[in-house]
Structures are given as C-alpha cells and as structure tokens.
Structure 1
Amino acid sequence: MLRIAVLASGNGSNLQAILDRIASGALDAEVGVVISNKPQARALERARSAGVPSLALDPAAYADRESYDAALVEAIRAAGAQCVVLAGYMRLLTPVFLAAFPGAVINIHPSLLPSFPGLRGAGDALDYGVRLAGCTVHFVNEEMDGGAVIVQAAVPVTPGEPLDDLKARIHAMEHRIYPQALQWLAQGRLRVEGRCVHVAPPDSGVVPAAAGGAWLVSPPLEPGF
C-alpha cells in the first residue's frame, strides 16, 4: 500500500478527493500525515475529520526556506511516507526538499502544461482566449510546474464565461485524475523516461472509464475514477 504525505495551504478539496477514493477502495493508499504552512487551512480540518495525523508548520519560525523544508522532510519521514502529494500547496520547494524525495513528489496544476504555469493557470487560459483548458498531474522538479506529465484532462472554455465557472469544471476533473495518478503509482505502473511518463496497462484488463464531463483525459481513467 502506498503511504503518502499531503502538503496543503488552503481548502484541501483535492485532499478530500484522495481521502474519498481511499475510503471507497478505489485508491490503494493511506495518508500518513497532512501538513500545512497555514494553521487555519481547512485541509487540516479535513485531515482531522478523517482521523489522519495533521501538522501546521509556520514558515516564520524558521530562518530560511531551506531550514523550513528540512523540518518538512523530518516530519514526512517520521510519518513513513513514500510519496509527497502537493494539494494546493502555495510554496515553492527547495532543492533540500526535492533531494530528500527524488522522483516521489507529485503536484496538480489547473492548466494543460506546459501552457500557463504559475499561480493563475485557469485565469491566464481564459484571458488568452483558448477554447480548451484543463489540469495536469505531474512530477515535481526544480522548475516551477516543469516536471514530467503523468495525466491531463481537458475541459471546454466558453469565451467570456465567468472564471469561477471554468475553475469549477477544472476542479471536478482534478478530483478524478489526481487519485487516478496516485493509484497508478501505488500499482507500480508509472515509468519515467526523460520527460515521458509511461503508464503500463493493468493486469486485470479493465476497460477505461468514460471521461465524464471532459473533452479528453489522457491516459484514460479507469473504473472507480
């Protein structure tokens, strides 16, 4: 079973999606700890409600980013986590952190990377006038939103629509593809070759599920997601 640590700064809706898929049996993982840089983050409440250990670490209590990340590493290792999942974590990770978990840090971003990296992924896509937006699960490296792509989901954009409407469609797909990516990792089905992430076919021969509200999900979702 894959044991994960989740870092979150805010609402924690992707954390909740992960917890729900674990509870349903679709995701063969357990959350060992949820850590936030914001003591009032709702993600911590979600963790407590699910009986998951939680911890708030205040960056102001540390001399610099590196010492803060060293404390994160210590807490994650103490929880026995094999993988670090960023779920709305609003801090850039330092090389100190990434060196501690090589190839084992995963993030989700609200755009079809490499387009529109940064804090305003969905807003930048809408402002640009694209007809397809979406979300991306990717491995994390030292380049912001620059790691190898695991899975992406596209959603249609209506010109001039409210940003909140677009964000809602993107979030709905985030809550499906993030747990799916973690399940592939738990099953040992991800293989990284340079910038390419290959997903091995399932042993059971299951048929991929329908996208359900997205124009395209690649690789396709499987039953339970």
Structure 2
Amino acid sequence: MHRIAVFASGEGSNFEAIVSACERGEIDARVALMVCDRPGARVAERAAAHGVEAFVFAPKEWASKADYEREIVRRLDAAGVELVCLAGYMRIVGDELLGAYGGRIVNVHPSLLPAFRGAHAIEQALQYGVKVFGVTIHWVDATLDGGCIIAQRAFAYEGDDAAELERMVHRTEHPLYIETIQKLLKER
C-alpha cells in the first residue's frame, strides 16, 4: 500500500477528505504523516482522531526554514512517504523539501491557475468579478503556484459571498484531489 503525507495549516477539511478516502479504499494508500505549521490548528485534532502521526511545529521556534524542512524530510523518509499532498499548507516549500521530494509534491489551489496565485485567490477572483471559478491540482516547484498543472475543475458562480464560494470550492476540490491522488499513485 502506498504511503502519503498531507500538509495543512488550518481546519483540515482537505486532510479529512483525503484520510477518509484512504480509509474507504478510494485511494490505495494510507496517510502516514500529517505535517502542520500552526500549533493549535484543528487539523491536528483530525489527525489524532484518525490515528495519523502528526508533526506540528512553530516555524519561529526553528533557527531557519532549512532547519525545520530538514526535520520534515527526516520524518517523511522515516514514514516511507511516496507522495506529499499540500492541502491548505500556507508556507512556500523551500529548497530542502524540494531537493528531497521534488517531483513528488502536489498542491490543491482554489483558482483556475495561472489566474489568482497566492493565499487570497478566492477574494481576488471575487474582486475581479469572474463568473467561472475553479480548483487546480499542480506539481509544486520553486515558483508560487506555478508548477505544472495536473488537473482542473471549473464551476460557475454569480454571487458575491466569499463564504459561500469557499464552500463551493471545497465541494469541488475534495473529490478532484481524491481522484487525482489515486491517479498519480496508480502511475507510480
């Protein structure tokens, strides 16, 4: 069985969707490690509820980004992780992690890339007035939301409620991410 890691920074709804899909057999893998950069984030509770090992850290407590990324790599290696899935992880992946896992890190982003890169994509798209929104799954490289696109799914929305739009994004991204992870693992 494949072993994956999920990185998150907040609530962990994508983590929950992925780990539940693994438990149901929709993804031929198990989540071997959850990595979170925000102590107290709800995703840590979700990991504990599913019996998933967690590495929760505060970046400020480390001397450098390279130092905490080396620790992440050590833990990924120890867990035998084949694929890293960023799921609301709000840190830019650095050289240490890319050097060790480049070509094996994917991210889900709440826009149709290359439009609206970065942390505030939903708000930016609403402000711009777009009527077709979407989700992108892409490989992670050294650029901000710039890696090669793996999958996209679009949906129409005519409203202006950011919370409603975020719920629609989650309803789109959860199944798309699950399908994409399973496809990528079958190709390994």
- TM-score, structure 2 length as denominator? 0.96
**How far did 1:141 drift?**
0.2
1:70 counterpart = 2:70: yes
**How far did 1:153 drift?**
1.1
Deviations 1:18-54 (A, max 9, x none): 1121122111111001111112111111111111111
**How far did 1:2 drift?**
2.0
Once superposed, which parts of structure 1, at least 4 consecutive aligned residues long, lie more than 3 Å away?
Answer: none
Tell me, in whole angstroms, the C-alpha distance in 2 between the residues paired with 1:73 and 1:57.
14
**How far did 1:83 drift?**
1.0
Tell me, in whole angstroms, the C-alpha distance in 1 between the residues paired with 2:2 and 2:179.
13
1:60 counterpart = 2:60: yes
Task: Kindly indicate whether structure 1 or structure 2 has the higher relative contact order, using CA contacts under 8 Å at least 6 residues apart.
Answer: 2
CA contact (8 A) 1:137 1:178 kept: yes
User: Percent identity among equivalent residues?
Assistant: 39
Look up the match of 1:117: 117
What SS does the aligned partner of 2:60 have? Answer: helix
Tell me, in whole angstroms, the C-alpha distance in 2 between the residues paired with 1:167 and 1:66.
32
**Larger helix percent:** 2
In structure 2, stretches of 5+ residues that fail to align are none
In structure 1, stretches of 5+ residues that fail to align are 190-225
Equivalenced residues, count: 188
Look up the match of 1:28: 28
Tell me, in whole angstroms, the C-alpha distance in 1 between the residues paired with 2:78 and 2:144.
27
What SS does the aligned partner of 1:78 have? Answer: helix
Look up the match of 1:38: 38
CA contact (8 A) 2:102 2:140 kept: no
**How far did 1:121 drift?**
0.8
Look up the match of 1:181: 180
Q: Aligned AA for 2:164?
A: D
- TM-score, structure 1 length as denominator? 0.81
Tell me, in whole angstroms, the C-alpha distance in 1 between the residues paired with 2:107 and 2:143.
12
CA contact (8 A) 1:126 1:157 kept: no
1:92 counterpart = 2:92: yes
Bigger mean CA deviation after superposition, 105-114 or 75-84: 75-84
Bigger mean CA deviation after superposition, 50-59 or 128-137: 50-59
CA contact (8 A) 1:3 1:32 kept: yes
